[in-house]
Homo-oligomer: A and B are copies of this chain.
Amino acid sequence: MKSDIEIAQAAEMLPISRIAAKVGLGEEMLEYYGKYKAKVDTLALRDRPRKGRLILVTAINPTPAGEGKTTTSVGLADALTLLGKKTVLALREPSLGPVFGVKGGAAGGGYAQVVPMEDINLHFTGDFHAIGAANNLLAAMLDNHIQQGNALDIDVRRITWKRCVDMNDRQLRNIVCGLGGKVNGVPREDGFDITVASEIMAVLCLASDLMDLKTRLGRMVVAYNRAGAPVYCSDLKAQGAMTALLKDAIRPNLVQTLEHTPAFIHGGPFANIAHGCNSVSATDAALKLGDYVVTEAGFGADLGAEKFLDIKCRAAGLSPDAVVIVATVRALKHHGGCPKTELGKENLEALARGLPNLLRHVENITKVYGLPAVVAINKFESDTDAEVRMIREACGRYGVRVALSEVWGKGGAGGVELGEEVLRILEEGEKHFRFAYASELTLKEKIESVARKIYGADGVDYAPAADKELQRLTELGYGTLPVCMAKTQYSLSDDAAKLGAPEGFRITVQKAKVSAGAGFVVVLTGDIMTMPGLPKVPAAENIDVDENGKITGLF
């Protein structure tokens, strides 16, 4: 079996102008980045209607066994193309940092990938670099303001804006900066986040256009003054220059799948402290250009789909027409307590114990959100007929059908069954889309709604600091914002060890903070890592390039 990068490098890509032409995008609407990447001028699309049907791909709670959500999304788009449908894919951009750690690439896998794979995983069109520059310009202007006299009376102990770098670099998590005496800044505690954790990433992904982007950047809270009042980005007059830095980054990037389906790969916010899905501008463009749009949300449905629906759809006036919930037999057996070394053997007992995780997500999508769903089993050779039958029967009790997907090994052809099921529910499924909570509820009522309806919790407890901060944010006028839940992705609860579909638990909110530019209140149920580290042997050690520029060791 070839590796992902070998398959990607063997692919014959079409010039991106030909991919663009498939959806009616002319040369004048493209900015080329090499032969196989382009940014699309969305201004030219402004007055077009959103005509496409939106298909959201989400998943069970992630496990070490893997579910293959991105791969399934790519394969489904290729399958729909095979079935004669004008389909556009809209996915997130991978972060550069994790490529050098353990994660490797993030552009699908096997025969269901987006290409050029190396470019997408490295600098791509420079969006993340632009976000990093805008983030760090704001940080430099903030510290310069303090150094030059601190007219805004910023409390150096309450600066919420951090610098960022697109690298897994634990050494920068906690630092003291501004050392070295009078001409070298004001000493204070600080730290770096990885670039994708910057609020600017969330802002870029939710902004409807360049002016909305500037407005959102201006209203970001960067610190509090000594009287406790928020200091905004606009107080530092930074939003104009930051928007100038982001003027190209806000335009969606067009690439292609291995089977030449047009793919927007644009934006990649965290799925815990942010909303975890690709940009509104890309989804909007895809819906204006394609008849069918396949998109993906981060982590499992409790985090990714919840935020896609309650945050992104609310902000952008979207609603999906169908939802695909990806699972694997192996991952469900893991949820049922099967040890990792035994996942390749039939184990109906473990599967039966793990199935409720899938069923909870199925129920959430269909009952809470009122959306038609189909379950996609990302098929492994070791899966037995009896195991697949058990999943089909269980899902059937919720009126949801199951399709096998073999896109990793077979590309679009391996996704035809899934594609047909999706088309069927788009025709027959009933859609009564509603949010998990109304905007008018209080922040605590919103948190309780998500915890009870989506996680299945009995209730929510608040640490004193969280309680106080939610109160303060409400007083500051942020009470009408949606909540962005930061929670472990491994469990429906806030305890990573509680697999399957736990019951009889409560959620504990530890902290809260506002992302005023993005337009949500982040609610943290534990410590969320916003700067990863490298492993003992970083993937970077095996990455290389030959004299012709051909890269090896990316996977």
Interface residues, chain A, CB within 8 Å of chain B? 31-35, 43, 96, 100, 118, 122-123, 126, 129-130, 132-133, 136-137, 139-141, 143-144, 147-148, 163, 165-180, 183-186, 190, 209-211, 214, 237-238, 240-241, 243-245, 247-248, 533-534, 536, 538, 540-549, 551, 553-554
* Complex Cα gap A538–B118 (Å): 37
Residues of B within 8 Å of A534, CB to CB, are: 140-141, 144
The residues of B that contact A170 with a CB separation of less than 8 Å are 143-144, 147, 183-185
Question: In the complex, A222→B178 CA distance in Å?
Answer: 24
- A selection of 14 A-B contacts at a CB cut-off of 8 Å is A43-B549, A133-B166, A137-B167, A140-B534, A148-B536, A171-B178, A173-B180, A175-B176, A183-B533, A237-B540, A240-B541, A244-B543, A247-B549, A248-B549
Contact check, A237 vs B171: say whether CB atoms are below 8 A apart: no
- Which chain B residues border A140 with CB–CB below 8 Å? 100, 167-169, 171, 534
- Do residues B141 and A540 form an inter-chain contact, with CB atoms below 8 A? yes
CB within 8 Å for A184 and B173 given contacts A32-B32, A123-B248, A211-B547: yes
As for how many copies of this chain the complex holds, the number is 2
Cβ contact within 8 Å between B166 and A100: no
Q: Which residues does chain B contribute within 8 Å of A147, judged by CB atoms?
A: 170-171, 533
Interface of A is mostly: mixed
A434 to B244, CA, bound (A): 46
User: Chain B: which residue is nearest A211 at the CB level?
Assistant: B547
B179 touches A175 (CB 8 A): yes
Which chain B residue lies CB-closest to A148? Answer: B536
Cβ–Cβ contact B210 & A240, under 8 A: no
Q: Are A177 and B167 in contact (CB under 8 A)?
A: no
Q: A35-B31, A147-B533 are in contact. Are A241 and B177 (CB under 8 A)?
A: no
Decide if A177 touches B175 in the complex (CB within 8 Å): yes
Contacts of A141 in B (CB 8 A): 100, 534, 538, 540-541
